[in-house]
């Protein structure tokens, strides 16, 4: 393979794998800059009237109710930036259809000093979350008692920088983590695998070049004093293809001379030193191999981080 072809393939491999890893990360950062999630953790029927026992009645705080359901919600900042009260135009709210909210309780908050209030309006058909600040990963859990056996509700919010309030249930996945878009996963996974393969290929080449370097230093590969440029070219043809890039400059210098023209002692010494240096040079392979490893590890870390 020609020197330019190897160089182009290496650069193309680096560019493609780097773009394949960086583009999903940049897109994820752009799309997941700010996010707020309301998750329904559980729903349970507390009491319900029975047709078989018509005289059985239930009351809550002096009010008759036919049935009561308990719902537990979690509000969490799943983005990467804090949400301040000044950003909130309409607070996150849960509005029930045709059912009264009997009681609301804040049962957990992370961190413990998180300032969150649950607001139950006079109509008692909705619950709002009020907070002065919600940092990334901050969350609050609320328990709601609703006078119905089939709770139906809608979640709403209007916050600067957030297009909508994400809603999820405990059995589903939402939020930034574990929600890579299909194209993000495919691109990052393919680029990561390709980077690892190219890294392994780099290790093979680096091992071969290390063997050549050791053989040169131990005298197993003898670099003679060349009589003419033709002898230089003949020797270069015997060098393994992994050193093609390193010797291309030497080959170009030899091609400028007549193949049968005797070389001066200075030219002989220059060619010999340049070839020995090329055979011992591992810097290019090391840099390329390390770069492919860094790209591969970055892609792997991104994929794992997205699913944790």
* Termini Cα distance of the chain: 44
Let me know: does 210 contact 243? Beta carbons within 8 Å: no
Angstrom distance (rounded) from CA 2 to CA 157: 62
The residue-averaged pLDDT of 196-216 equals 87
Let me know: does 262 contact 227? Beta carbons within 8 Å: yes
pLDDT band at residue 7 under the 50/70/90 scheme = low
The residue-averaged pLDDT of 125-134 equals 96
pLDDT at 294 over 50: yes
Give SS3 for 54.
coil
φ, ψ of residue 180 to 5 degrees: the values are -70, 135
Which residue in the block uniquely carries the two structure tokens 């709403």? 156
Let me know: does 76 contact 37? Beta carbons within 8 Å: yes
pLDDT given for residue 177 in this prediction:
45
pLDDT given for residue 92 in this prediction:
97
Rg (CA), the chain: 35
pLDDT given for residue 178 in this prediction:
47
The residue-averaged pLDDT of 218-235 equals 87
Nearest residue to 195 via CA among 206, 184, 187: 187
Q: Over the stretch 235-282, which tens digit does the pLDDT of each residue have?
A: 888 887 767 777 888 888 888 888 888 989 998 899 889 988 888 888
pLDDT given for residue 113 in this prediction:
95
User: Could you tell me how far CA 235 lies from the centroid of its own chain?
Assistant: 48
Fold of 35-172: Immunoglobulin-like (2.60.40)
pLDDT band at residue 141 under the 50/70/90 scheme = very high
Angstrom distance (rounded) from CA 184 to CA 25: 8
pLDDT band at residue 50 under the 50/70/90 scheme = low
Q: Does 220 or 100 have the greater pLDDT score?
A: 100
Angstrom distance (rounded) from CA 14 to CA 37: 38
pLDDT band at residue 54 under the 50/70/90 scheme = low
List the chain domain ranges.
3-26+183-307, 35-172
Q: Over the stretch 188-198, which tens digit does the pLDDT of each residue have?
A: 888 989 999 88
pLDDT given for residue 51 in this prediction:
57
Predicted TM-score (pTM) of this structure: 0.54
Distances in Å between the Cα of 298 and the Cα atoms of 90, 111, 116, 188, 304 are 39, 30, 37, 10, 10
Distances in Å between the Cα of 108 and the Cα atoms of 37, 116, 167, 232, 272 are 16, 10, 19, 79, 76
pLDDT given for residue 153 in this prediction:
95
- By residue count, the chain amounts to 308
pLDDT at 181 over 70: no
pLDDT given for residue 236 in this prediction:
86
pLDDT at 171 over 70: no
Two structure tokens written together for 303: 């994929």
pLDDT band at residue 56 under the 50/70/90 scheme = low
pLDDT given for residue 217 in this prediction:
85
The residue-averaged pLDDT of 81-87 equals 93
Q: Does 188 or 173 have the greater pLDDT score?
A: 188
User: Could you tell me how far CA 288 lies from the centroid of its own chain?
Assistant: 22
pLDDT given for residue 32 in this prediction:
58
| 178 φ/ψ sector (left φ>0, alpha ψ -120 to 50, else beta) | left
Two structure tokens written together for 164: 């909508």
pLDDT given for residue 39 in this prediction:
95
Q: Output DSSP code: residue 301.
A: H
Two structure tokens written together for 273: 């030193």
pLDDT band at residue 173 under the 50/70/90 scheme = very low
- What value does the mean pLDDT of the chain take? 85
- Neighbouring CB atoms inside 10 A of 186's CB total 13
Distances in Å between the Cα of 38 and the Cα atoms of 76, 90, 138 are 7, 15, 12
């Amino acid at each position: 393979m020609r020197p330019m072809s190897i160089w182009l393939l290496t650069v193309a491999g680096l560019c493609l794998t780097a773009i394949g890893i960086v583009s999903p990360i940049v897109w994820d950062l752009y799309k997941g800059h700010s996010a707020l999630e309301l998750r329904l953790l559980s729903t349970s029927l507390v009491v319900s009237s029975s047709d078989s026992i018509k005289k059985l009645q239930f009351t809550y705080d002096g009010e008759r109710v036919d049935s009561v359901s308990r719902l537990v919600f979690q509000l969490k900042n799943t983005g990467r930036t804090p949400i301040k009260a000044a950003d909130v135009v309409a607070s996150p709210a849960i509005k029930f259809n045709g059912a009264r909210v009997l009681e609301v309780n804040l049962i957990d908050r992370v961190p413990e000093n998180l300032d969150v209030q649950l607001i139950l309006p006079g109509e008692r058909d909705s619950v709002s979350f009020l907070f002065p600040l919600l940092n990334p990963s901050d969350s609050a859990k609320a328990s709601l008692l609703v006078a119905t056996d089939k709770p139906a509700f809608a979640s709403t919010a209007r916050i600067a920088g957030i297009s909508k309030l994400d809603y999820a249930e405990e059995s589903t996945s939402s939020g930034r983590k574990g929600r890579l878009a299909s194209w993000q996963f495919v691109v990052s996974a393919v680029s990561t695998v390709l980077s690892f393969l190219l890294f392994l290929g780099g290790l093979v080449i680096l091992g071969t070049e290390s063997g050549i370097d050791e053989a040169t230093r131990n005298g197993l590969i003898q670099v003679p004093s060349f009589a003419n440029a033709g002898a230089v070219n003949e020797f270069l043809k015997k060098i393994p293809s992994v050193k093609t890039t390193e010797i291309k400059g030497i080959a170009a210098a030899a091609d400028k001379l007549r193949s049968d023209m005797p070389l001066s002692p200075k030219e002989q010494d220059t060619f010999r030193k340049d070839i020995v240096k090329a055979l011992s040079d591992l810097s290019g392979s090391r840099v390329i191999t390390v770069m492919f490893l860094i790209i591969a590890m970055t892609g792997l870390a991104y994929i794992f981080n997205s699913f944790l």
